[in-house]
């Protein structure tokens, strides 16, 4: 437990001190939210009977999730693996579980701060009312963070080099966020995009969060979304458990 | 006193490549033991088996009385590892690194004492990205020492150093002996092994080809070379009795009234002995 706290403190220090990473994974979703919100925040999303900015909040929470828990985590893990930082840690008495747990908790903490910033910004800039179903929201966000972190760790097993990690991760999560409707409503999508969107976990996560934040739904009314997100997370976890490596692969 | 390390008939292959082919040696407690050999001889593989990073294919290994393959956190409390690569967290300072690693051990050495030991006091609050290669390597050593290990593994500690930095690193490694540490050092520099080790094992193609005190290795009976030129042709005589051979040679030349051009008598250098040991044709 002492080791976990020790390592957690270190992970937080590392995250916030790495400016590039903190910018791209933490600040970027906030910037995009302000930009897009200013562009179409007052438009009506007619089919949903919602203001654009209200609609956008859930999408941005999803984008923040993909960027902190999935992209940021995967990139950091690959860089640490390839630079033998993880190999060196394996040579100390620090247990593997404490390391993984510290990474996960640290990631969830960053995402939690991101969520608070986005919700407060939405309220201040675009008059989006504060969510009322806090319990369901916290559960949904935690489920999402665990599932996307598992997928992020799973993804590291197919990336062979530190140089490629940023490129590969961006090539996956940016289109993912586009198609899942992080930035706009996916209702006008052509058929093939709609088909893709309907299997992506982020689509379901955003839908679930939107229902909870804007329509006061409870998480137990979102069975399909919970199941899809959890299933993707389980796949990521399975890949991670089978193929995760502590040592550099690019040799 | 039981040996700190016992290795018997260690074998390890990567696919078809036999990296280590039956290596045996013992390291006494408090001994500085050098594994010397060219790149690809199996040094790092051997050390990584002892560090618990790799599973062996055959043979038996005991480090501080435990099998590294199954030893746990208690055992890791007692060993220190300095890997070949030296990338760490670029955004943390020297002090933060040492304090971070100190936190992984239940009874670490004093953080400032270790920073002093490796000579990084002036860089205590500098971020790692601003350190020179040699300074990073010294931080590596600090991270290997912070847990106050009984045995320290040093994998090529001075590769890529300039001569002054090498000297400084050597002094530091010598000071470890005064701390009573057992040290296993790998190197492909003969002079490094000779300067630092109590005993050296020379590794070639996964086997130990020689083992002993550095003076035994380099002091083994080797032929002395006598070279001179005769009628524009270079003549080389190799002999185990240089006094006699030289006397006969020069006496004959004097008797004939000729001068032996470019006459030289030389013993092979350490480097040549080492190369002879490591370059013998594969049997």
Enumerate the domain spans of chain B. 5-218, 224-267
A12 lies within 8 A of chain B by CB: no
Contact assignment for B89 to A85 by CB distance below 8 Å: yes
The ipTM, to two decimals, is 0.86
> Is A17 at the interface with chain B, CB within 8 A?
yes
What would the mean pLDDT of A9-34 be, rounded to a whole number? 90
pLDDT band at A216 (very low <50, low <70, confident <90, very high): confident
With an 8 Å Cβ cutoff, is A85 touching chain B? yes
In a domain, residue A249? The reply is no
With 90 as the cut, is the pLDDT of residue A185 above it? no
Residue-wise pLDDT tens digits, B29-66: 999 999 998 888 899 999 999 999 999 999 999 999 99
**C-alpha span between B186 and A124 (Å, rounded):** 62
CA of A217, closest CA in chain B: separation in Å? 43
Check: CB of residue A118 under 8 Å from CB of residue A206: no
Closest residue of chain B to A21, computed from CA coordinates: B91
User: In whole angstroms, what is the distance from residue B71 CA to residue B234 CA?
Assistant: 60
Using one digit for the tens of pLDDT, what is the confidence trace for B105-162?
A: 999 999 999 998 888 999 999 999 999 888 888 899 899 999 999 999 999 888 777 7
Which residues in chain B are closer than 8 Å to A106, comparing Cβ atoms?
none
Answer whether B150 touches A (CB < 8 Å). Answer: no
For the four alpha carbons of B117, B118, B123 and B127, in that order, the dihedral sign comes to: negative
pLDDT tens for residues B145-158? 999 999 999 998 88
pLDDT exceeds 50 at position B282: no
Q: What is the pTM of this model?
A: 0.84
d(CA B98, CA B145): 9
Give the residue numbers spanning the domain of A186.
2-243
- The residues pairing with B13 across neighbouring beta strands, listed in sequence order, are B18
**For residues B48 and B54, is the Cβ–Cβ distance under 8 A?**
yes
Q: How would you class B90 by CB atoms within 10 Å of its CB: exposed for 0-12, middle for 13-18, buried for 19 or more? A: middle
Q: B-chain residues within 8 Å CB-CB of A8?
A: none
- Considering all CA atoms of chain A, what is the largest pairwise distance in Å, rounded to the nearest integer? 58
Closest chain A CA to residue B75: A93
Helix (H, G, I), strand (E, B) or coil at B54: coil
Residue B22 reports pLDDT greater than 90: yes
Helix-then-strand count for chain A, H and E? 12, 2
The CATH fold assigned to B5-218 is Rossmann fold (3.40.50)
The pLDDT score that the predictor gives to residue B191 is: 83
Could you give the dihedral angle defined by the CA atoms of residues A14, A20, A25 and A28, in that order, rounded to the nearest 10 degrees?
Answer: 140
Q: How far, in whole angstroms, is CA B217 from its chain's centroid?
A: 14
Residue B158 sits at the vertex; the CA angle it makes with B155 and B163, to the nearest 5 degrees, is: 165
Q: Which residue has the higher pLDDT, B87 or B78?
A: B78
Let me know if residue A251 belongs to a domain. no
pLDDT value at position B280? Answer: 56
pLDDT given at position B283? 40
Question: Other CB atoms closer than 10 Å to residue A224's CB: what's the count?
Answer: 10
Mean pLDDT of A118-143: 92
Say whether A91 and B91 touch across the interface (CB within 8 A): no
> Rounded to whole angstroms, what are the CA distances from A107 to A16, A154, A247?
11, 15, 22
Which residues of A fall within a CB distance of 8 Å from B91? 14, 17-18
Q: How many domains does chain A have?
A: 1
Question: How is residue B58 written in tokens?
Answer: 């055959």
**Residues 6+ positions from A101 with CB-CB distance below 8 Å:** A4
* Residues B51-88: b if buried by 16+ CB within 10 A, e if exposed: bbbbebeebebbbbebebeebeeebbbbbbbbbeebbb
Cα(B208)–Cα(B198) distance, rounded to whole angstroms? 17
Over residues A84-88, the mean pLDDT reads: 92
Q: Which two tokens stand for residue A36?
A: 């897009």
Q: Which residues contact A6 (CB under 8 A, 6 or more apart)?
A: B100, B103, B104
Q: What percent of chain A has pLDDT over 70?
A: 98
CA angle B107, A93, B51 (to 5 degrees): 115
| DSSP-assigned letters across all residues of A30-98 | HHHHHHHHHHHTTSEEGGGTEEHHHHHHHHHHHHHHIIIIIIIHHHHHHHHHHTTHHHHHHTSS--HHH
User: Could you tell me the pLDDT band of residue B281, with boundaries at 50, 70 and 90?
Assistant: very low
Position A93 confidence tier, pLDDT thresholds 50, 70, 90:
very high
* pLDDT on residue B237: 85
| A249 vs B: CB within 8 A | no
For residue A214, what pLDDT band results from cuts at 50, 70 and 90? Answer: confident
Of all residues in chain A, what percent are helix, strand and coil, respectively (each to 5)? 80, 0, 20
């Amino acid at each position: 437990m002492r080791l976990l706290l020790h390592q957690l403190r270190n992970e937080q220090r590392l995250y916030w001190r790495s400016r590039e990473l903190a910018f791209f994974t933490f600040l970027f979703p906030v910037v995009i939210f302000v930009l897009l919100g200013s562009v179409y925040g007052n438009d009506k999303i007619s089919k949903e009977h919602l203001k654009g900015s209200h609609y956008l909040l859930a999408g941005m929470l999803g984008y923040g999730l993909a960027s902190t828990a999935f992209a940021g985590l995967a990139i950091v893990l690959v860089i640490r693996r390839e630079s033998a930082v993880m190999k060196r840690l394996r040579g100390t008495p620090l247990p593997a579980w404490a390391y993984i747990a510290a990474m996960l908790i640290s990631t969830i903490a960053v995402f939690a701060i991101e969520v608070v910033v986005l919700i407060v910004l939405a309220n201040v800039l675009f008059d989006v009312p504060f969510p009322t179903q806090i319990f369901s929201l916290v559960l949904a966000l935690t489920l999402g963070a665990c599932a996307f972190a598992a997928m992020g760790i799973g993804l590291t097993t197919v990336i062979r080099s530190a140089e490629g990690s940023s490129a590969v991760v961006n090539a996956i999560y940016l289109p993912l966020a586009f198609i899942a409707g992080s930035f706009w409503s996916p209702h006008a999508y052509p058929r093939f995009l709609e088909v893709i969107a309907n299997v992506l976990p982020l689509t379901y996560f955003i839908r679930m969060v939107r229902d909870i934040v804007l329509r006061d739904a409870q998480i137990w009314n979102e069975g399909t979304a919970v199941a899809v997100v959890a299933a993707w997370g389980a796949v990521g976890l399975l890949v991670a458990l089978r193929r995760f490596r502590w040592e550099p692969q690019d040799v | 006193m039981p040996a700190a390390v016992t290795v018997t008939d260690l074998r390890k292959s990567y696919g078809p490549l036999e990296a280590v082919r039956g290596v045996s040696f013992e390291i006494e407690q408090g001994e500085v033991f050098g594994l010397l050999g060219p790149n690809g001889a199996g040094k790092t593989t051997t050390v990584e088996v002892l560090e618990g990073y790799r599973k062996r294919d055959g043979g038996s290994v005991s480090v501080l009385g435990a099998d590294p393959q199954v030893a746990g956190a208690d055992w890791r409390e007692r060993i220190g590892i300095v890997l070949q690569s030296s990338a760490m967290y670029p955004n943390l300072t020297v002090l933060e690194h040492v304090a971070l690693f100190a936190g992984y051990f239940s009874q670490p050495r004093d953080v400032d004492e270790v920073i002093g030991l490796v000579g990084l006091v002036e860089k205590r609050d500098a971020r790692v990205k601003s350190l020179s290669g040699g300074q990073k390597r010294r931080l590596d050593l600090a991270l290997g020492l912070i847990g106050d290990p009984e045995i320290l593994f040093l994998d090529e500690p001075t590769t890529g150093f300039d001569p002054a930095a090498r000297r400084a690193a050597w002094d530091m490694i010598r000071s470890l002996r005064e701390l009573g540490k057992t040290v296993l050092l790998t190197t492909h520099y003969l002079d490094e092994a000779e300067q630092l080790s109590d005993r050296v094992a020379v590794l070639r193609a996964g086997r130990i080809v020689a083992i002993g005190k550095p003076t035994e290795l380099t002091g083994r009976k080797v032929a002395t070379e006598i070279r001179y030129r005769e009628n524009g042709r270079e003549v080389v005589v190799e002999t185990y009795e240089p006094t006699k051979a030289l006397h006969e040679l020069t006496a004959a030349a004097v008797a004939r009234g000729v001068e032996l051009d470019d006459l030289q008598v030389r013993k092979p250098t350490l480097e040549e002995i080492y190369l002879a040991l490591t370059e013998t044709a594969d049997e």
